[in-house]
Amino acid sequence: MVYYNYLDEEVKDVMAYIKEELDTKSITLTNQTDTDAIQNNLYEQLVDDDSVTGNASGSYTMSTVKAEEYLVTNWELLSEAINALDPEFNMLKQGAEACDIIIRIYLLPEAINIALQKLS
């Protein structure tokens, strides 16, 4: 069984988004002066970006089977995400793709922080 590292993959997605969609020079300069503002702006942009969280369409993977594969070794992380974001979340009713998304949303602030550190 291959371990899927959500945080590492999400950091890559955030960095790709920044490089493709934003001016990395301005982010680097802004990051040095107003870290909270740039992190908040990125969070607002990325929380509903399918290439980072899948939240807009309801699927990051566009495949229930792929989402299930990612979850296999990440049950503790899923539990943390549910407890932090939505304790009423019913993973059996919502399904694998929703579980995948809730993990990605949970990790998004940390992924943004790491991506910005790597780009500065």
pLDDT of residue 57: 97
Specify the pTM: 0.90
Average model confidence (pLDDT) across the chain: 91
Helix pair angle (6-21, 96-119), 10° resolution: 60
Q: If pLDDT is split at 50, 70 and 90, which confidence band does 27 have?
A: low
Average pLDDT of span 3-32 = 81
Q: Please say whether the beta carbons of 82 and 91 come within 8 A.
A: yes
Q: Is the pLDDT of residue 110 over 90?
A: yes
What secondary structure, in 3-state letters, does the chain show? CCCCCHHHHHHHHHHHHHHHHCCHHHHHHHHHHCHHHHHHHHHHHHCCCCCCCCCCCCCCCCCHHHHHHHHCCCHHHHHHHHHHHCCCCCHHHHCHHHHHHHHHHHHHHHHHHHHHHHHC
pLDDT of residue 28: 54
Average pLDDT of span 92-117 = 97
Q: If pLDDT is split at 50, 70 and 90, which confidence band does 2 have?
A: confident
